[in-house]
Amino acid sequence: MRLIVARCTATYDGRLSSTLTSAVRLIMVKADGCVALHADVGAYKPLNWMNAPNTIDEEPDRWVVRNPKGEVLTIELEAVLEDVSYELDTERGLTLDGVERELQELLADHPTHLEAGLICIQREFRTDLGPVDLLCRDADGAAVAVEIKRIGEIDGVEQLTRYLERMERDPLLKPVRGLFAATTIKPQARVLAESRGIAWVEVDLGRLRGEEDAHLRLF
């Protein structure tokens, strides 16, 4: 993890365009290449970011961050106040809350609740960015990576996208498609998932427990 505190401006060119005027900000660079600019407000959300994989062309007063989709984030550094790096664990390290843990266990035992013919091969399948919740095979034998959340939001889709990019590098798995599962999936997460070719499923936990007949929506 690299942390830079600097007075800077930034411009983003991609699906949309945006500009950040001059101010002191935190620039965070993660081991996977993710770059994010933060202000001193706004909880965990960055002002602008580029998800991995990225290439970073770094000059003393200018960074140009590019991804394979052609999106470009340009950061103009006016004054660097701090520049430090730390080695952090890349494991997720979080304990699933009760609902997520139960969903993972139940869906591993009953993957056909997600898709007809689906077979679970492994729980917590390891990638170099952390474990994907379920590795499955579909009725045609193709690999399916399943990420499970209690509430499905954009961050979960981004997380699954990163896992898929890593898993696609494994010739024993390729091609890999993604499936995002949650008890509730926010509209923005649905749109993002669909734009990236990721299927999503809203799971009724009560029905999955066997209290009622399962009735899932797959898009």
% of the chain exceeding 90 in pLDDT:
58
Number of domains in the chain: 2
Going from the C-alpha of 120 to that of each of 48, 61, 135, 147, the distances in angstroms are: 37, 49, 6, 13
Does 92 map to a domain? no
Q: Are residues 111 and 179 in the same domain?
A: yes
For range 195-214, the mean pLDDT:
78
105 and 187 part of one domain: yes
Q: Which two tokens stand for residue 205?
A: 């936990």
What is the per-residue pLDDT for 98? 62
The pLDDT value recorded for residue 32 is 78
In this structure, are 81 and 102 located in the same domain? Answer: no
Amino acid type, 82: E
Question: What CATH number is given to the structural domain containing 34?
Answer: 2.70.180.20
d(CA 4, CA 9): 14
pLDDT of residue 214: 42
Condensed to tens digits (0 to 9), the pLDDT of residues 9-44 reads 999 998 778 899 999 999 999 887 889 999 988 777
Taking 80 as the threshold, does the pLDDT of residue 187 lie above it? yes
Q: 160 and 180 in contact (C-beta within 8 Å)? A: yes
CA separation for the pair 173, 158 (Å, rounded): 20
Q: What is the pLDDT of residue 205?
A: 80
Q: Note if the pTM is more than 0.75.
A: no
In a domain, 90, yes or no: no
Query: What is the per-residue pLDDT for 15?
Result: 76
